Chain A
Amino acid sequence: MSFHHLDQFATVPSPVTAMPPVARLVGATSVAVGAATLPLGAWPAAAALGALVAAMTLLARVPVPLLLRRMSGPLAFVLLASAGLLVFVPGDPVLDLGWVAVTRPGVERFGFVLARAVVALSAAVLLVTTTEFPDLLDALRRLRLPRVVTTALSLAYRLLYLLMEELERLLRAARSRNAGAGAASRRRLAAGVAAAVLQRAFARAERTHRAMLARGYQGELATLTEWRWRAWMVAALATLLGLVLVTAVLARG
């Protein structure tokens, strides 16, 4: 399952993975927000931020096809949602489809929305590809995200895998009894399996809660990790933030 390898590049040694996760999170977020909020038509700025992400990708030694593959899902969504721009923005028609026409400003607007999305998404995907989930969580904690949220997220992480395991077991058991041949039977099987997984999730949560109490849990999740900041890391993060900021200002210039 692809999901077992979400963070497979987190352990590849590189300047990117050496950075404290907080730095990675802040860096990626600033690029993503910077890109997503660029004013329409700020092509040079979008290109600059895109180049920044490309440089990071190279540094982290993440293969570009992998990055693109991971972006494809959300990107398809953006494509669909913004396709209307092609025809609804009034202006010179460049392609007449009979009942509607694709306009020149429509193409420009659509292209820019897409470019913004590509840059923002690639920054986000690069972050989760190079950062292990526990580190990401720790970063969120350091950024003072409420404890309940980070606690819930860290428990959800393990639970997600346990549920996937249960799901696989249930499906295997059902298939070994020849369930799921034919559409109606498949629907019934899916409903039954979903109900069973849900029920097991609740039972599991209950037992885990007891296991936490048994080890002295009193409502606060304390943590272990310490990362070391080095001068070059501070400098690198500051440079990145500076570049994003300058780009954003220039784009609005």
Chain B
Amino acid sequence: MTAPLVEIRELGFHYPDGTPALDGVSLAVARGERVAVLGPTGSGKSTLLQHLNGLLRPTAGGVWIEGVTVDAGPGLSDIRRKVGLVFQDPNDQLFLPTLMEDVAFGPLNDGVGPVDAAARATAMLRELGLDGVGARAAHHLSGGERRLAALATVLVSRPVVLALDEPTGDLDARGRMRLVDLLRARGETLLVATHDLTLARALCGRGVVLYGGRVVADRELGALLADRALLERYGLESPSGE
């Protein structure tokens, strides 16, 4: 029996100020699955994603990646390489003077030499259609470009699991479809925190609904989106145009 790629067991977390955020969350994700983590604002989606690579430490239960527990031990840098986390605000992830430096940041930290890191960053930017803007500073990019750039900074490290936090916040319909096509073509295992049900439908096969820090539904996505009563009860709007 092989361990699931991501396993979350009875995960509980409250912030240092006492705010409870997660309570008894259990979830297993197999390799290649694309899971939408749905729920209204404040339901704990971002908190959950930040547990996947040890940015936050559980106050109860635990998280395992390929059977390895996520904790402060020596395995942490390995886990951070395997789990790519794309933050909600791209600006948080673009902190260096040029885009190229931002994209090369991960590989350089993993011990890749400057020449190879630059080559990988260049290839990554090209794959996302950002070849022209590598020398630019993030404040000279459009919102959509910043979004893709933030994704590039994570994909360049070749993660096995990609955790995306509200990835369509500032994308229009076309930008959203482009993102979907790109992610489907690449085939990483995905956890996507979103309240954009159109994105969830286009990208994911399974939906998990968080509400008040607990998992209240975990189903095949089509079935979940067809359950209007459930969507309404948990403050989710059905996808546009239906």
Contact = CB atoms under 8 A, between A and B. Distances in A.
| Chains A and B form a bound pair | yes
B101 A223 contact: yes
B201 interface: no
Contact of B138 (A158, A204, A215, A216): A158
Contact of A208 (B53, B81, B95, B139): B95
B101 A215 contact: no
Interface residues of B, number: 35
A158 B109 contact: no
B118 A158 contact: no
Contacts of A137: 97
Nearest to A159: B95
B168 to A, nearest CB: 19
Interface string A164-180: 01000000000000000
B109 A218 contact: yes
Interface string A208-224: 10111111111000111
Nearest to A217: B109
A95 interface: no
B175 to A, nearest CB: 20
B95 A158 contact: yes
Contact of B139 (A132, A161, A207, A212): A161
B12 to A, nearest CB: 20
A226 interface: yes
B112 to A, nearest CB: 9
A207 B114 contact: no
Contacts of A196: none
Interface in A105-123: none
B117 A216 contact: no
A87 B153 CA distance: 61
Contacts of B106: 215-216
Task: Name the residue in B97, B101, B108 with the highest tally of chain A Cβ atoms < 10 Å from its Cβ.
Answer: B97
A224 B97 contact: no
By secondary structure, the A interface counts as helix
A155 interface: yes
B92 interface: yes
B154 interface: yes
B50 interface: yes
A239 B106 CA distance: 41
A213 B101 contact: no
Contacts of B98: 134
B77 interface: yes
Contacts of A218: 77, 109
Contacts of B118: 224
Interface string B101-124: 100111011100010011001000
Nearest to A203: B92
B89 interface: yes
A30 interface: no
Contact of B100 (A133, A211, A215, A224): A224
A215 B157 contact: yes
A224 B95 contact: no
A214 B153 CA distance: 11
B38 interface: no
A41 to B, nearest CB: 43
Interface of B: 50, 53, 55, 77, 80-81, 85, 87, 89, 91-98, 100-101, 104-106, 108-110, 114, 117-118, 121, 137-139, 153-154, 157
5 shortest A-B CB distances, which residue pairs?
A216-B109, A134-B97, A222-B108, A215-B106, A161-B139
Given A154-B96, A222-B109, 4 more contacts: A159-B95, A207-B87, A213-B80, A223-B108
14 contacts: A4-B139, A132-B97, A154-B97, A158-B95, A162-B91, A162-B139, A207-B92, A210-B50, A213-B80, A215-B80, A218-B109, A222-B109, A224-B114, A226-B114
Interface of A: 4, 132-134, 137, 154-155, 157-159, 161-162, 165, 204, 207-208, 210-218, 222-224, 226
